[in-house]
Amino acid sequence: MNRNVILFVIDGTMGIVFLASFLTGLLKFTVLLRLSGLEAVVLPSAFISDIHDWSGLLLGVLVFLHLFMNRRWILAMTRKVAGASSGDPVPADD
């Protein structure tokens, strides 16, 4: 499989899983529910908590894969930035 396709799938899945984790995190945030007036709404809190926990774990795995797949770029940029002297501005890639 093409490396770019793999990165696209990993990054797209990471975005979807992030949204699931973020939204379930908002639903678990009781102060926010009270402030929005939704405290009387009955939510399946155990199910929401399970989704939140599993999506957080999956997000961690996907972030690790993303960093592993982009390790050459990360190392090259680290060398480039660390190699610049403290007085020299880092050139922008415009």
CA–CA separation, 39 and 37 (whole Å)? 6
CB pairs under 8 A, 24+ apart, for 71-76?
none
In a domain, 7, yes or no: yes
Domain, as residue range, for 15: 3-81
The pLDDT, as a whole number, for residue 12 is 97
CA 76 to chain centroid, in Å, comes to 22
| 3 pLDDT above the threshold of 80 | yes
In a domain, 90, yes or no: no
CA–CA separation, 61 and 21 (whole Å)? 14
| 20 pLDDT above the threshold of 80 | yes
| Domain count across the chain | 1
Give the model confidence (pLDDT) of 54-75 as tens digits: 999 999 999 999 999 999 999 9
For residue 52, count other CB atoms closer than 10 A to its CB: 19
Give the model confidence (pLDDT) of 25-58 as tens digits: 988 887 777 777 776 666 788 898 999 999 999 9
| 90 pLDDT above the threshold of 60 | no
For residue 70, count other CB atoms closer than 10 A to its CB: 14
In a domain, 91, yes or no: no
